[in-house]
Amino acid sequence: MPTIVVLGAGVSGLTCALQLAKRKEHAVTVVAKHMPGDYDIEYTSPWAGANVLPMALEETSRWERRSWPELRRLAIEVPESGIHLQKARVLRRIKDEEAAFKGSLSDGLFVVDPWYKTMMDDFRELDTSELPAGIRSGCEFGSVCINTAVYLPWLVGQCAARGVVFKRAALKHVSEAAALSHTGRRADVVVNASGLQACRLGGVMDATVQPARGQTVLVRNEASPHMMVLSGCDDGDDEMAYTMARGVGGGTILGGTYQKGNWDPNPDPSIAVRIMKRAVDLHPALTGGRGIEALDIIRHGVGLRPLRAAGVRLESERIDGTCVVHNYGHAGWGYQGSYGCAEGVLELIDEELAKPKSKL
């Protein structure tokens, strides 16, 4: 009976655990320092928006492609997951045209005529009459917004219903996870979904992983019907303008920033004000024409996206006698790539398990 330990309970780890547990023969244990319900700077997932705005270029689009159908299905069929449908508007500023609309957050989101136009629902380019000032062009498509505060615990529940066991532990070395299966057996495979911590975890120590700091403001005001994102903003290369409305009462997320190498867990008040101003400019309806003083703030947040220089690491490696399948470094697309990456992880695990063992 294949024994698997998943290290990390962020969206990546939980999705892998869930997909693994759907196979009844797998004995799955999730081991993590932080679990849904926690808010901690080391634990990125709760801080995310989150939504689906495809960011990859076509050649690396597999993960997002394979995730979208499931996220969409959850939005439509499983309201208790905390995901709901929401239209998105991606706006390309005149000022960013020279740089071919390559935003700081992504390579592929703002590309004209993007690969995802056939994947997302009802994709259309916006009519000039629909464009705000300063915008060269833009597109609209049906997407989803994920209320992370509801979705992460929902994933835990789905895992628990399929027999996954959860254990809190803070490990210093990835191979320690092999001994932590709830079955008492040595794990056949350890899934390393440690996110940003991959840069400090013994046995991994990936120096190419750094935070991309994202600051947000969560407000009670509503900015429906669209979630919006701009290709850039005047306040700086590492600042962004986007909004999204979390479902099931989750509030509206106003963002943001993309500050590479910045570990600061405290919300910066000046950034917060700029974020709020940009949001109100983007959506005057947010405050009914009034200024940012009319924003009803729930809280300010800071999340550190786990950014890996060469992109996500999805491969297996033998570390100290344990087969480790890495699944970390998703930067800002963790949720929208979660199911696709889990599928990749399962393929690698199947390969490993297919190797028969000799018996003493």
Partner 1 sequence: MSFLGSAECSTAGNPLSQFTKHVQDDKSLQHDRLVGRGPNGSLGSFRSQTRGTPQDEMMNGFLHQSPGLPEMPLEQQAGPMGNLHIDPNHAVHLRAKSASPPQWAGDFQSTQMAMESAFNAPPGTQFSPDEFAKFQQMGAPGASVSRSSPMPGAAAAGMMGGGMMGMGGMNSSMGGMSYGMMQRPMYQPMTSMYGQQAHMQPPQQQQEPEGKGKGKVVELDDTKWEEQFAQMELHDQDAKPDEALAMEPELNAMDEQLHSETGHGDFESIWRGLQAEREAMADLDVEEDFSKFDSSNFGGDNLNEWGLTNGRIGADPIIQEYLFEEENMFQAANSPFQEGVRIMTEGGNLSLAALAFEAAVQKNPDHLDAWVYLGSAQAQNEKEEAAIRALEHALKIDPNNLASLMGLAVSYTNEGYDSTAYRTLERWLSVRYPQVIAPENLSSAADLGFTDRAQLHDRVTTLFLNAARLAPDGDHMDPDVQVGLGVLFYGAEDYDKAVDCFQAALHSSELGTSNQREQVHLLWNRLGATLANSGRSEEAIAAYEKALAIHPNFVRARYNLGVSCINIGCHAEAAGHLLAALDMHKSVEKSGREKARELLGGDGDATDSHIEAMMTQNRSTTLYDTLRRVFTQMGRRDLAEKVVVGVDPDIFRGEFDF
Q: Contacts with partner 1 in 165-184 (CB under 8 A)?
A: 165-173, 176, 179-180, 182-184
Give the residue among 300, 194, 215 at the shortest CA–CA distance from 259: 215
Question: By the 8 A CB rule, do 317 and 216 touch?
Answer: no
Assigned token pair, 56: 């990859």
Q: Contacts with partner 1 in 71-130 (CB under 8 A)?
A: none
Check residue 48 and give left, alpha or beta (phi > 0: left; psi -120 to 50: alpha): beta
Our CB check for partner 1 shows the closer of 90 and 199 to be 199
Our CB check for partner 1 shows the closer of 228 and 292 to be 292
Return d(Cα 271, Cα 276) in angstroms, integer.
9
Residues 6+ apart with CB under 8 A from 339: 15, 19, 66, 67, 70, 71
List b or e across 25-47, with b for residues whose CB sees 16 or more CB atoms inside 10 angstroms: ebbbbbbbbbbbeeeebebbbbb
Min CB(242)–partner 1 separation in Å: 18
Q: Contacts with partner 1 in 149-168 (CB under 8 A)?
A: 153, 156-157, 160-168
Q: Contacts with partner 1 in 230-269 (CB under 8 A)?
A: 261-269
Instruction: Kindly state whether residue 285 participates in binding partner 1, applying the rule CB under 8 A.
Output: no
Min CB(55)–partner 1 separation in Å: 24
- Interface stretch with partner 1, choices 59-67, 119-127, 339-347, 352-360 (CB under 8 A): 352-360
Per-residue x/- mask for partner 1, residues 39 to 78, rule CB under 8 A? xxxx------------------------------------
Burial (CB < 10 A; 0-12, 13-18, 19+), residue 335, is: buried
Our CB check for partner 1 shows the closer of 117 and 281 to be 281
Min CB(3)–partner 1 separation in Å: 7
Our CB check for partner 1 shows the closer of 215 and 327 to be 215
Min CB(149)–partner 1 separation in Å: 10
With CB under 8 A as the contact rule, the residue among 186, 208, 222, 309 that binds partner 1 is: 186
Instruction: Kindly state whether residue 22 participates in binding partner 1, applying the rule CB under 8 A.
Output: no
Local structure of 180: helix, strand or coil:
coil
Min CB(86)–partner 1 separation in Å: 23
Instruction: Kindly state whether residue 272 participates in binding partner 1, applying the rule CB under 8 A.
Output: yes
Of the chain, the end-to-end C-alpha distance in Å amounts to 18
332 is in an annotated binding site: yes
Instruction: Kindly state whether residue 317 participates in binding partner 1, applying the rule CB under 8 A.
Output: no
Min CB(153)–partner 1 separation in Å: 6
Instruction: Kindly state whether residue 289 participates in binding partner 1, applying the rule CB under 8 A.
Output: no
* Residues near partner 1 (CB under 8 A), total: 80
Q: At what angle do helices 62-77 and 338-353 cross, to 10 degrees?
A: 110
Instruction: Kindly state whether residue 216 participates in binding partner 1, applying the rule CB under 8 A.
Output: no
Q: Contacts with partner 1 in 295-314 (CB under 8 A)?
A: 295-302
Instruction: Kindly state whether residue 288 participates in binding partner 1, applying the rule CB under 8 A.
Output: no
C-beta neighbour count of 78 within 10 angstroms: 12
305 is in an annotated binding site: yes
Return d(Cα 252, Cα 276) in angstroms, integer.
11
Our CB check for partner 1 shows the closer of 1 and 133 to be 1
Local structure of 66: helix, strand or coil:
helix
Min CB(338)–partner 1 separation in Å: 18
Assigned token pair, 118: 């056939």
Report the DSSP beta bridge partners of residue 125.
Answer: 139
Amino acid present at 71: L
For 163, how many CA atoms within 13 A lie in the half-sphere containing its CB? 14
Give the residue among 112, 127, 148, 300 at the shortest CA–CA distance from 218: 300
Return d(Cα 196, Cα 212) in angstroms, integer.
10
Question: Binding-site residues for FAD, please?
Answer: 44-45, 174
Q: Which residues are annotated as a binding site?
A: 44-45, 174, 305, 332
Question: Which residues participate in the annotated binding site for D-dopa?
Answer: 305, 332
